[in-house]
Chains A and B, each alone.
Chain A
């Protein structure tokens, strides 16, 4: 999976991982067995799109809208590769 994603790949949060907003931390977190990652705003935005079952293309487009004028595609792909190698996300459908 770390080799890269096709634009049409539908991404999802991996089973056993749970994404949620934590009021006390004022941040989104990703929860898993006995552990937690606190997410920065961009990571939370991308993972929220993953949780909604978006395609890679749709995620890139949404980030373009959020950060107009920035070349977001490489950054999004880089994040997705890292998230996949951490086991946070997976391809639901190709």
Chain B
């Protein structure tokens, strides 16, 4: 298959700019790497401006400012203004902490297009437990301000065993806050979520109830609020088309300038990780070993190599394949056809048998990050 159209690099459409790993929240499903606290280096304003320009030149058009908590960067307004000038569609992905009316106005003036606000649950008690910080009231306040200032608002809820039974009240709250979109995303088991999988993995019965509740609510509310329900690959028996295919559409720059084709790539073994300080984004996208490693199909093993689904799911998630089988080139074991699928079934069986609350979560904070080394 080498040389087929699929192996040729297209251009990126999405740039995720992780401005900082600093964050006032401690969510135990965070997708940041476990070792985030051991590297405090952050690109400066000039370096970020260059990243924005170079990625736009390559064709990236959707831009997410994320982290950590991106509001902790005092140059956020400046970066948004440059992004607007470059004609990106700009998305701020935030916990809401650090937001004020003044900042909302300044960001609007800078040209920010959209805000995605995360909640952890629909009750103060559960929200504040999961985030490890008292934030619920502040988040509600920020949601109202976002709407008052005319931004489109996506509310994001990561679903897991601890909050998935309250999908209906979550959607009720989102409707009251006048969200334009709600994202109910079953947790992906990378980063801190992998570490806390036994706390997070829901049972099949929970999942089915949640999906039914989301469908009922969707029928009731119609187009006024669009509900995106992101399924759990563990229970689907099919792998997800991770980042739309490695090195095809998505590019992420971490706080220290490392350029990645997916959220978890820095945890994969034996790959040199390029940095914006050493090379242009163009050469990283088109010429780096990292972006070429799982691009196209030539790296695939069986059963992916001859599978008719390979052009739809790209073999699933490389980081999950590595985490669960030790080899990132294996089929993602959430796939029923994987010879390692039993590890997923075992985790599901464990979730069914274990009692909720029987394991304590390890919160995403500096102390726990340093202890994970």
Contacts and interface: CB of A to CB of B under 8 A. Distances in A.
10 contacts: A16-B114, A23-B59, A24-B59, A31-B62, A31-B113, A33-B91, A33-B152, A35-B62, A36-B89, A87-B226
A62 to B, nearest CB: 25
A25 B59 contact: yes
Given A23-B59, A24-B11, A31-B62, 20 more contacts: A16-B113, A22-B59, A24-B59, A25-B59, A31-B61, A31-B113, A32-B89, A32-B152, A33-B89, A33-B91, A33-B154, A33-B181, A34-B64, A34-B91, A34-B154, A35-B62, A36-B61, A36-B89, A87-B223, A87-B226
A18 interface: yes
Interface of A: 15-16, 18, 20, 22-25, 29, 31-36, 85, 87
Interface string B208-225: 000000000000000100
Interface residues of B, number: 20
A25 B13 CA distance: 9
Nearest to B153: A33
Looking at A18, A20, A31, the one whose CB has the most chain B CB atoms below 10 A away is A31
Contact of B180 (A22, A25, A33): A33
Q: Which 3 A-B pairs have the closest CB atoms?
A: A24-B59, A16-B152, A31-B89
A34 B11 CA distance: 17
B120 interface: no
A23 B60 CA distance: 11
B61 A29 contact: yes
B254 interface: no
B61 A22 contact: yes
